[in-house]
Structure 1
Amino acid sequence: MSLITPEFGLLFWQTLIFLLLFLLLAKFAWKPILGSLKEREDSIDEALRMAQNAKLEMQSLKAGNEKLLADARHERDQMLKEGQVIANRLIEQAKTTAVEEASRIAQQAREAIQQEKNQALAEVKNTAAQLSVDIAERVLRRELAEPAAQQNLVDAYLKDIKLN
């Protein structure tokens, strides 16, 4: 016997065992193996479909989020503009109120100054009149210190009365 060439009996038994093993595997093992491979393939396909759906849903959510974010930014900008307008309006109102108040205070001050001026003028007039009366009294006392001068003044008044 040679190591390189097999004998007929060995080939026969090897072929017979191979065919028996093939038939046993075909009857009992191939169907479950192919079934599990098919299941595996189906589960992989399902997982890929689910991943694709999830990817599409994520893109949709991302687009929705970007739209919401853009809307929020727009609303924030709108609120800032409105706040600026309100602040400007309040500033203008405060300025207007301050100008009106300053005008009112200035008018009151003018009126108070005018009243004080009128009071001062009245006081000056009263003082001038009092001084005039005092001066006239002193002049008349000096002029009429003598009884003859008094008599002459009375006579002059009587003449004026008769003439009128």
Structure 2
Amino acid sequence: MELVTPGVGLVFWQVVTFLIVLFLLAKFAWTPIMKALSDREASIENALSAAERAKLEIQGLKAENEKLLAEARLERDKILKEATEAGNSIVETAKQKANEEGARMIAQAREAIETEKRAAVADMKNTAAVLAVDIAERILRKELNDKQAQQALAQEYIKEVTLN
């Protein structure tokens, strides 16, 4: 029965031992344990606040990145618009120069055609004049083979000259 109900001496020594262990733990272990717990609590608190600051900083960076992306898109659109306008301007200038060059070439061709036409007409007139003179000369030689025909012709010319 002694095992089921402990003796007073055993309980007394157990209480004394417990109090000694409690005193020793309070004197030597309790303070470092509490200090370690408070240090741990402080480091956890610091880590949480650092994480919160990092989270806020990440949100700020995200907003700044979005702002930069929007600015970059606007700049890209502006550059594309300017490039398109410059391309259209170059094409328009090239078209205008081509039209001017074409008009100049057409004017030169017309002028050359007109010059050639005048030259051809003059050549044709000269040829016609030479042919007319040649034909007239042949006719006159044929008609003026005899002396009487020559005198009659001369008399006729004299009359025409004095009549006019």
Fold agreement, TM-score > 0.5: yes
In 1, Cα distance between equivalents of 2:48 and 2:54: 10
One-letter amino acid matched to 1:100 = E
* 1:74 alignment counterpart: 74
Tell me the secondary structure at the aligned position of residue 145 of structure 1.
coil
AA at the equivalent of 1:44: I
Show the counterpart of 2:27.
27
Whole-Å separation in 1 of the counterparts to 2:160 and 2:78: 95
Q: Which residue of 2 aligns with 1:92?
A: 92
Give the TM-score normalised by structure 1: 0.94
Q: Distance in 2 between matches of 1:149 and 1:92?
A: 79
Q: Residues 8-41 of structure 1: CA distance to partner in whole angstroms, max 9, x if unpaired?
A: 1110000000000101111111111100100000
Matching of residues 9-158 of structure 1 within 5 Å: 9-158=9-158
The amino acid across from 1:37 in the alignment is L
Which whole-Å CA distance do the structure 1 matches of 2:59 and 2:29 have between them? Answer: 44
Structure 1 residue 155: Cα displacement: 3.4
Q: How many residues align?
A: 164
TM-score between both structures, scaled by the size of structure 2: 0.94
> Which deviations, in whole Å up to 9, do the C-alpha atoms of 1:82-120 show, x marking residues without a partner?
111111111111111111111111111100110110011
More displaced 10-residue stretch of structure 1: 90-99 or 148-157: 148-157
> Aligned-pair distance for 1:158?
4.3
Residue identity opposite 2:99 in structure 1: V
How big is the alpha-carbon RMSD for the aligned residues of Structure 1 and Structure 2?
Answer: 1.4
- Residues 160/71 of structure 1: CA separation in 2 closer, same or farther (3 Å cut): closer
Distance 1:161 1:100, change over 3 A: closer
Deviates more, 1:151-160 or 1:61-70: 151-160
Identity %: 56
TM-fit CA distance, 1:156: 3.6
